[in-house]
Amino acid sequence: MTRMSTLFSLIVVAVLAFAGAVWQVSWREAPNTAIDADQYRSPTGPVPAAPQRDGARDAGRHALLNAPYVSCGIPYGAYLRLNPQTEPDALVTGREGRNAELPFALTSHVNEDGVEIVSNNCLTCHADRINGELILGLGNAFGDFTQDPSRLVLQAGNYVQGKAETKAWQHWADRIDSIAPYVQTKTVGVNPAPNLTWALMAHLDPETLAWSQIPLIDPPPVDPLPISVPPWWGMSKKNAMFYTTVGRGDHARFMLLASMLCIDGTKEVAEIDSYAADIRAYIVSLEAPEFPFAIDTGLAAEGEGIFVRECSACHGSYGEEETFPNRVYPVDEVGTDAAYASDATDGSRDRFFDWVARSPYGDIHSTAPAPGYIAPPLDGVWATAPYLHNGSVPSMAALLFSDLRPKYWRHQTDPRRYDPDILGWEHEALNLGQGAEKDPEARRQIYDTTLRGYGNAGHTYSDALNDQARAALLEYLKTL
């Protein structure tokens, strides 16, 4: 895992989360009047189900772990120079050939020129460890997207040899260099995937998927809004993808956007689409991990009653008779940081929704965010800290009682340890935010909730409970 951290920090990859981002003045554009904004919006409230393609679960797992759906990356020779050893705990079963030797988040394939390429796969953002166990589908809460990914491009370029490798490297380098300005988050642990996707769309013709080094439409703003990667196992209950339910229609097709980093033409999309439904079938088959520590069953039983009374209406019910409302709640009602939802629905992203509608990735019904956030299913919620859509609240204990939410905080990472008492990773509250920290390395570790999009307000419903009730509720959440 340690060697992977370098790549985590510098390679930009698969996109399975969507959101908006902050406009900067230099990129602000006049509204595109040719786009009908209404067709790219959904109301808050219930999210209707859409037909999904059937797929083969096992074939999907195999494709997820072995197929080259991200088709450009570092030539293997250069990769080996930079990462000569793979830590045993970075391996995962079910991989073949070279992939069996690579960290789980990397996939190898040989390109048309005979060059072996190592590229990131979906697990870069969608797998992580808790208590020593690798959990596929768990959002990576420690990925570092604060660094300029062009650094890795140049570092790898130092070890590229020969024309064929150079050509392969240039393909990858062109893509990374083009999106580099749009994917650097303020804080380690949050994810810039939406902006990454928008930035790629700006360079791709939506109909031919031909790459243009010069943007064809205005790129997104430079600063990405932070996203906490949601767990994959929630996909089995959700009728739409992502926090604002922007991903509608055929989910497998929408997921193809995750492979867009290197795409060059529609044929490649069709090839990946041939097994996309299988990957989705695998994803929706995933079950939440069980809480690996002791649970006070009596206290949890007490908490279940509180949950049914206070939480189920939005988050559903659990146990033998499970329900899930699939409802989006307006930003004003839930009160959590509004930037992600408002940027998705204020018209500033419509050119990208229109791009999807014109592309093989979707149609006019595919991208339709609502001005709010879906109340997510809570299966395995104990594992998904930090909480809220932007990862601004470090523990469930703090989510349940807003007085405990630190304004500035950072994860303890040396080593990182899961704290089963608070349902979160060990962290420390800080007195000062990023603006007061001069050391850039220390600064990027700070989660500063005063930054735009990083706010930790809202969802204060359980503040009204007493300490005993909150303790019982927290204990019950361990059982989901």
Partner 1 sequence: MLAVAGALYWALPPSEVERTSSSNADEANLLSALMEVSSDGFQGPSPSWKLDLPKDHGHHTNSRTESWHVATHLRNEDGKELGFQFSFLRLGIISGDAPPPTSIWDVREINRGHVAILNTFVEHAFGEERFGRGTRGLAGYDPSAQELRLDNWFLRFDSDESGSYMTLYATVLDKAVVDLVMRPEKPTLALTPDDAGAPFVGYSMTRLAVEGTIDQGLGEETVTGSAWFDHVWGELPLPGMRPVASDRLQLQLGDGTDLSVIRTRRIDGAGAPVLSGFVVSPDGTASLLDGESLQMTSSRTWRDPVTGAEYPVEWRLLGPNLDITIAPLADAQAFDTAVPVWSGMVQSSGRRADTVVSGVGTLQLTGYSAP
Nearer to partner 1, 150 or 312 (CB): 150
Binding of residue 168 to partner 1 (CB under 8 A)? no
Dist. CA 473–CA 477, nearest whole Å: 6
Nearer to partner 1, 27 or 461 (CB): 27
β-partners of residue 191 are 227
Least CB distance to partner 1 at residue 445 (A): 14
Nearer to partner 1, 173 or 277 (CB): 173
Of 37, 56, 59, 82, which one interacts with partner 1 (CB under 8 A)? 82
Binding of residue 173 to partner 1 (CB under 8 A)? yes
Binding of residue 81 to partner 1 (CB under 8 A)? yes
Dist. CA 156–CA 140, nearest whole Å: 24
Least CB distance to partner 1 at residue 153 (A): 7
Binding of residue 177 to partner 1 (CB under 8 A)? yes
Dist. CA 124–CA 94, nearest whole Å: 17
Q: Which region, judged by CB under 8 A, interacts with partner 1, from 143-151, 223-231, 244-252, 446-454? A: 143-151
Binding of residue 150 to partner 1 (CB under 8 A)? yes
Binding of residue 151 to partner 1 (CB under 8 A)? yes
Contacts (CB under 8 A) with partner 1, residues 178-207:
180
Of 44, 71, 83, 384, which one interacts with partner 1 (CB under 8 A)? 83
Comparing CA positions, the residue from 133, 40, 76 lying closest to residue 370 is: 40
Coil, strand or helix at 70: coil
Binding of residue 441 to partner 1 (CB under 8 A)? yes
Least CB distance to partner 1 at residue 176 (A): 8
User: Widest CA span of the chain, in angstroms?
Assistant: 68
Backbone angles phi, psi at 332, to 5 degrees: -65, -30
How many Å from the N-terminal Cα to the C-terminal Cα in the chain?
28
Binding of residue 158 to partner 1 (CB under 8 A)? yes
Dist. CA 227–CA 405, nearest whole Å: 18
Could you tell me if 55 and 285 are in contact, meaning their C-beta atoms sit under 8 angstroms apart? no
CA dihedral 395, 400, 403, 409 (to 10 degrees): 10
Q: Which region, judged by CB under 8 A, interacts with partner 1, from 161-169, 295-303, 353-361, 457-465? A: 161-169
β-partners of residue 129 are 134
Q: Which region, judged by CB under 8 A, interacts with partner 1, from 65-73, 83-91, 96-104, 190-198? A: 83-91
Of 39, 53, 56, 157, which one interacts with partner 1 (CB under 8 A)? 157
Where is 5: in which H helix or E strand? helix 2-10
Of 32, 39, 52, 155, which one interacts with partner 1 (CB under 8 A)? 155
Binding of residue 174 to partner 1 (CB under 8 A)? yes
Binding of residue 419 to partner 1 (CB under 8 A)? no
Binding of residue 170 to partner 1 (CB under 8 A)? yes
- Look-up: residue for tokens 């349902």? 423
β-partners of residue 107 are 119
CA atoms within 13 A on the CB side of 91: 14
Compute how many other C-beta atoms are within 10 angstroms of the C-beta atom of residue 435.
11
Q: Binders of partner 1: how many residues, by CB under 8 A? A: 31
Nearer to partner 1, 177 or 346 (CB): 177
Structure tokens at 276: 């996309």
Could you tell me if 272 and 69 are in contact, meaning their C-beta atoms sit under 8 angstroms apart? yes
Nearer to partner 1, 83 or 367 (CB): 83
Where does this chain bind partner 1 (CB under 8 A)?
Answer: 2-6, 81-85, 148, 150-151, 153-155, 157-161, 166, 169-170, 173-174, 177, 180, 213, 440-441
